[in-house]
Amino acid sequence: MTEIIKKPVVSTPVRVGATDSQTYEYLVYCFFGTLEVLLTFRLLLKLMGANYGGGFVRLIYGTTRLFILPFEGMFRRFTSQGVETTSILEPSTLVAIIVYSILAFGIVKLIRISSKEVEI
C-alpha cells in the first residue's frame, strides 16, 4: 500500500499593502503618467487643429502650458494649412514628453536607492 507522508508546513509572512517607498513610487508614476497623458492630448489636439473655443481644448492647453514653457523656443513650430483648420506640430511638446518620462524614471530610481530596494 501507499504510505502517506506528512510534511510540516512552513508559513512565510505575507506582506499586506505597499511599503513607504512603493507608495512614493506610485505617486510619482501617477503624477507623471497623468502629465504624459495630458501632453499627448495637447500634441494630438494641435496636430488635428482643434478649435480653441472648446472647453476641453482650453482645459488641456491651459493645464499643460506651464509644463511646456521650459521647452518653448527650442525648435520652430511646423504648421500646415488645411481647408478648415491649421494643423500645428509643436516639437517642444514632444521634447517635454520625453524629458518628463526620463525624469519620472530617475526619481523612482532615486527612491529605490534611498530605500535600499535596488533591483539588479
pLDDT in tens, 34-49: 999 999 999 999 998 8
Q: What is the pTM of this model?
A: 0.78
In percent, the amount of the chain with pLDDT more than 70 equals 91
Which pLDDT score, from 0 to 100, does residue 117 have?
60
Which pLDDT score, from 0 to 100, does residue 15 have?
66
**pLDDT above 90: residue 76:** no
Total structural domains in the chain? 1
- Residue 63: count other Cβ atoms within 10 Å of its Cβ: 15
Backbone angles phi, psi at 82, to 5 degrees: -100, -170
Rg of the chain over CA atoms, in angstroms?
24
Report yes or no: 79 and 88 within 8 Å, Cβ to Cβ.
yes
Report yes or no: 89 and 46 within 8 Å, Cβ to Cβ.
yes
Domain that holds residue 49: 20-114
Residue 52 lies in a domain: yes
Residue 59 lies in a domain: yes
Residue 6 lies in a domain: no
Residue 12 lies in a domain: no
Q: Which helix (H) or strand (E) holds 85?
A: none
Report yes or no: 111 and 120 within 8 Å, Cβ to Cβ.
no
Residue 11 lies in a domain: no
Return the minimum-mean-pLDDT range out of 12-16, 50-54, 86-90, 111-115.
12-16
DSSP state of 17: S
For all residues of the chain together, what is the average pLDDT?
A: 86
- Residue 104: count other Cβ atoms within 10 Å of its Cβ: 19
Return the minimum-mean-pLDDT range out of 2-11, 52-61, 85-94.
2-11
